[in-house]
Amino acid sequence: MRTIMVLNAKGGCGKSTLSTNIAGYFAHAWEGRFGLIDFDPQRSALDWLKRRPGHLPYIAGFDGYSNGIASVPADIELLVIDPPARCHGNELERMVSYAETFIVPIQPSPIDIGAASKFIQELHDLHRVQNKEVKIAVVGNRVRENLKIWGDLERFLNSLKIPFVTHLRDAQNYIRAYSRGMGVHELPPYLGRDDVAQWEPLVKWLESKQSVPKQRKVVPLQAEMHPVEAAAAELANL
């Protein structure tokens, strides 16, 4: 099973938005058995799944808050994990033990960047991370303009060899997609095009070996999963 977690201790940075969009992207672009597990008592990811129209590719939902990670059946090929907010210490260590690929969304404000730097340092010091059993990338979220605010964070990430893969804009499409139980990749192309383009570096990273720890001997996406041809053609036409 491939496991991807969107992690940051800060509430409201976009964990559920990115989790649902990653699940939506893979369900849209790949054929396979997809799962989304929600560890947050607010249940935003599970509420999104409830809104998902029946004609869209199926994503199985799991209540991690009530039932834990053991509720996910072994035949799920790709699992997206939405963790709780304020995850530190032992709880952070437990969450980090559930996944191999981590995405840290950060909003472009000095408060968020300062808090995220401390969080990334805490993450980086964990045994599993030191042992190179996981891969981490950072994503700027709700970015309104080309701000010069990221400089120090980028230098810090460089020193830890953590890539800053993309900036996602602040857009009504994320609200729209959430309320329809979709990811931005599943919106009509005339609506979603700009956001899909911003997701490109992130999905490329997730589909590459760079997002999979070396110690793991399997291909990034399991052999049984195939790209959906229509989705691939759509991306090629962007």
Ligand X SMILES: Nc1ncnc2c1ncn2[C@@H]1O[C@H](COP(=O)(O)OP(=O)(O)O)[C@@H](O)[C@H]1O
* Segment lying near Mg ion (by CB under 5 A), choices 43-51, 88-96, 143-151, 224-232: 43-51
Site for ligand X in 11-40 (CB under 6 A): 11-17
**Residue 91 binding result from Mg ion, ligand X, none, given CB thresholds of 5 to 8 Å by partner type:** none
Select from 41-49, 69-77, 94-102, 107-115 the region that touches Mg ion (CB under 5 A): 41-49
Q: How far apart are CB 177 and ligand X at their closest, in Å? A: 9
| Shortest spacing between CB 168 and ligand X, in angstroms | 5
41 near ligand X (CB under 6 A): no
Residue among 79, 221, 108 at smallest CA distance from 169: 108
Q: Is 141 in the site for Mg ion (CB under 5 A)?
A: no
CB of 79 to Mg ion, least distance (A): 17
Shortest distance, CB of residue 215 to ligand X, whole angstroms? 29
Q: Among 93, 133, 170, 207, indicate the residue that binds ligand X (CB under 6 A).
A: 170
Q: Which does 24 bind (CB under 5 to 8 A by kind): ligand X, Mg ion, none?
A: none
Q: What is the 3-state secondary structure (H, E, C) of the chain?
A: CEEEEECCCCCCCCHHHHHHHHHHHHHHHEECCEEEEECCCCCHHHHHHHHCCCCCCCEEEEEHHHHCHHHCCCCCCEEEEECCCCCCHHHHHHHHCCCCEEEEEECCCHHHHHHHHHHHHHHHHCHHHHCCCCEEEEEEEEECCCCCCCHHHHHHHHHHCCCEEEEEECCHHHHHHHHCCCCHHHCCHHHHHHHHHHHHHHHHHHCCHHHCCCCCCCCCCCCCCEECHHHHHHHHCC
State yes or no: residue 43 binds ligand X (CB under 6 A): no
Is 199 near ligand X (CB under 6 A)? no
Residue selected from 32, 44, 133, 234 as contacting ligand X according to rule CB under 6 A = 44
Angle at 120 between CA 119 and CA 122, to 5 degrees: 65
Sites for ligand X among residues 64-123 (CB under 6 A)? 85
Kindly list the residues in this chain that would bind Mg ion in the complex (CB under 5 A): 15-16, 40, 44
